[in-house]
Amino acid sequence: MLLVRNGLLVLVAAVLLVAGGWTSWGSARYALGVSGRETGTVKVTSCDDERCAGPFVPVGKGRPRERVSLVKAASPGVGERVTVALRPGGDRAVRTGPAGVLYAWVPFAGALLLASLVIAGGLRWRRTAWGMGLAGVALLVGAWVAL
């Protein structure tokens, strides 16, 4: 019975980590430049409750766009210029550079924190849990400082 319980807890922790990594990779691949998408700069001209927007000027090949939007939390503020990569098939942008990469990995940081609770509370692997928890906190603090 103990082996089954431990196996299930390891499975739950693994699912949390895989889900966090998968969610983060959705934005991180554009922020890291792995996808080969259009990159450029956006001058933030307006913000609402969730998103900020402005005109897009490409770097290299690509076409300028009158208006693209990015998540408000990753935006430096109205009047600032930020480097971005465009998501395919729309006007959504992802911030690039160190701040954008760290922000993209925030869901994985949350998964690390949740998995550390499962590992500490259920499996009693305290050192592993502390390591994962501290890694998650470091990633969250790094993203907050970079933004």
Residue pLDDT, tens place only, 37-69: 788 999 999 999 999 999 999 988 888 999 999
pLDDT tens sequence across 16-34: 999 999 999 988 998 987 6
Which residue type occupies 67?
R
Q: Residue 94 corresponds to which tokens in the numbers above?
A: 């992802």
Virtual torsion, Cα 43, 60, 83, 25, nearest 10 deg = 130
Is the pLDDT reported for residue 124 higher than 90?
yes
Higher pLDDT, 1 or 81: 81
Residues 6+ apart with CB under 8 A from 35: 29, 85
- For residues 25-49, one letter each, b for 16 or more C-beta atoms within 10 angstroms of the residue's C-beta and e for the rest, the string is bebbbbbbeeeebbbbbbebeebee
Prediction pTM value: 0.87
Residues 6+ apart with CB under 8 A from 37: 30, 85, 86, 87, 88
Give the Cα separation of 131 and 56 in Å (integer). Answer: 41
For residue 35, what pLDDT band results from cuts at 50, 70 and 90? low
pLDDT score recorded for residue 33: 78
pLDDT score recorded for residue 70: 92
Structural domain spans, the chain: 1-32+96-147, 35-95
